[in-house]
Chains A and B, each alone.
Chain A
Amino acid sequence: MADFETVTVETDLLICGGGMAACGAAVEGSYWAKKHGLKVTVVDKAAIDRSGAVAMGLSAINQYVDLNSGNNTLRDYLDYVRNDLMGITREDLVASIARHVDSTVHLFEKWGLPIWTDADGKYVHEGRWQLMINGESYKVIVAEAAKNALAEADGELIERVFITHPLIDDGKCVGAIGFSIRENKVYVFKAKATIVAMGGAVHVFKPRSTGEGFGRSWYPPFNSGASAFFTIYGGAEMTCQEVRFIPVRFKDAYGPVGAWFLLFKAIATNAQGGNYMQENVGELDKWEPYGKVKPRPANIRNWLMMLDVMDGKSPIYMQTADAIKAIADKAPDEKAAKKKLRELESEAWEDFLDMTISQAILWAATNVEPDKKPSEIMACDPYFIGSHSGASGAWVSGPEDLQNDETRDEYFWGYPHMTTIPGMFAAGDASGASSHKFSSGSHAEGRVAAKAAISYIVDHPAAPNGSQAQIDALTEEILRPLGTFEQHKGATTDPDINPNYIRPTQFMYRLQKIMDEYAGGVSSQFKTSDKLLEKGMELLGYLKEDAEQLGAENLHELMRCWENVHRMYQADAHMRSILFREETRWPGYYFRSDKPSIDNENWLAFCNCTYDKDTGEWTMIKRPVKYIVAEIPEHEGEVGG
């Protein structure tokens, strides 16, 4: 095996990741670091201009609370998020993000992001909380501000270094370790505080497409569970590990449906033209009180659609032509109608081209003109994404000023958005129970976490004390797959088939098969049970043992090895949490056939967990859900969407 050089980077604030949350942390962290003479370092496994979930672009900003208009209050946003997550949410965290997100969006505009405006210069809303943007370069612009902020504060950006593990000393986070995917170098980061912002996890479950389209997940395939592993391995308490997210999108290419549902007011029907949201309305009684809330929770919308799918009423169609006709019919004359149609056509295609170009290719390849024929929609695969309508992530402290007497002891321990490990903060998909932050709220949360982390560093100025023994042991472990491959590659004539090692792609397939068949993947319509989970966990145990025998031919494959180890820990936490929660609460995300109903009396609670890396033991913890402003609604809300 080739020799590896160890590069040691000493810094004050380390930001792991390069997506929206990391860029928010870089801007805000640099601002406060400059004032206090501190150093900020950002480390990203890719190029920050196009890394993370917004790498391709986005066609909308999905969180803009618009407090300034007087139309919305923070409380309105809390109601929306709490109800969408069937009651399981940390209102203090949601409020902590929502009260800052408007200023983040205003900064995006100052940095050059084109936000759609109407004739009066007001933002064009896609829905109540969403703004339409020309978002092809959304990430490029946000990254540019982050890079310029780092430059102004004498910070540094290190790209193409993949973070594998945290460095922990005496129960505190003192940095991170990883390796370059371009040259034979191990990177050791010693930091006084670390922000985890490395995204969520995709490809833990088997996707619907298993050929070339394997990579066409809705959420990007390069978000591979690094945040979850970092926090789990570091000993941080995790939350909502059972709350996966399954979006409904245009079938196969997973193009966005938000503009069609919200902006164009399209409806979806089964093959017979029946509106499942109306025809299956009786089902909502079973999921009270959340089933009756408007807008209907995302998982409930999934569920009503899936009932039709399971009844054989597919294909399910987005009725694009009807929606376009209804809008054009409102035009005063034929000329105005034609103009409107051209505008709608352009908007509809831009919606795809800004964020899911594959969907535009699929429409063109199947001769879809949306004003002429409808398009199929479908539930995607399960993803781990705490920023959307899922909730998985680390359990972090809320800000003190957003607590009440009931919540303070449970939800506050010193620094906003710090995990239960001192010095380790989390933002974006890395932090849990604060759903519906999306791109803008992830950026805002990165900012909140970075200011808090700088405050932590000022309060704890001692140099980080990472033990050399820990660094040496991790270095050996991280590089082991290269040595394993090199040692055994000559034993067979085909490097893929060798009894001495397993390559990362096959390892991933094995993980995905376990999750798909035992933990409620697409092939069982997201249905599982205690017995299935127990068997799945047995099989996952063998996989965990075999992770010791991963083999990597080169640095790219070494990254793939560790990505899949990260996914495996996310999978482990997921199965344990589903098993721990003895009910079905989000029927459109997963359904436990042995506990087929919601149990508000016993399970209106968080399922948290911790992992002990020294013993390999998991501890499950039930934590109370306590709201800061409101009780569960007893009647329907007034606002649709």
Chain B
Amino acid sequence: MPQGMDKGIKPAVALGRTLNLANVLKMLKASIRPLGLLGPAGVWLLLLMVLPTLLITELSFVPGLRPGEAIEGYGLLNYLRILEPTYLQVLRRSATFATGTTLLCLLLGFPVAYWLALMAPKRWRNLLLVLFILPLWTSSLLRTYAWITLLRPSGVINLALGALGLPTQSLMNTHWAVYIGMTYSFLPYMVLILYASLERLDLRLLEAAADLGANPRTTFWRVTVPQTLPGIAAGCLLVFVTSLGDFVVPTLLGGPSSMTISRLIYNQFLGVARNWGFGSALSMVLILMVSLAIALLLKYGDRNPEIYS
């Protein structure tokens, strides 16, 4: 780089130069601003995320660790135990709930976001968005209790159905109730992210497709969806990750067969088992599943970098 351009010199570039004192000082000086800005967040991340995760990783390799005990030996027993059918069943159930919720949110959320972004009157868009996001401002526990009031055999939905002479539903305490509760809880996230993605859709492409003879359905599948794929991936990831670890909805709305991985972890730490080693191993598996989901996002989410420009 030319001699005179010190301002904002990148440490990486400086390394290419001779390593005398002046250059090292320049390097440090240039790093101060980025470090100063990243410092608080970095420290926070380190202390509150990285260190606890490392601690849990360590504990997960201690078979049969009870709280308050000293660590006696390490082993893979906790992880091997997860491979037992009982616990694989729990993992499978959590993954099924999460996948089902994600698909439902996508199917319900995409039309809403499409309408909001492209077809709703412009004046009302922000208001409608806010109205959609409003439930997020209440506690998710309260929202789940509201669903209990709706879905109960003597609840509001059945009262309405009965008044209309229609057969009543008995969804309470079943897996369907869990899907309903979770989809309701996470739909706003999906809509918001899809809205952001659809909002920057270049409408000229749609017009061009129409000019070239595509009918609306072809345009949708071959132009709109590929363009919004990063948004879809991001929305699906967010909903998947949060519903995978959801504790409240399966516990309150699910029946006696709705043990999920978060509830299992809770039982290991605070239940009768008090096996912190096993609980830590389960937590690590949950982190692994989430990381897999993020990896998939990174693969499919960066399809067309040019649309970001």
Q: Do A and B bind each other?
A: no
**Interface, chain B (partner A; CB < 8 A):** none
**Interface, chain A (partner B; CB < 8 A):** none
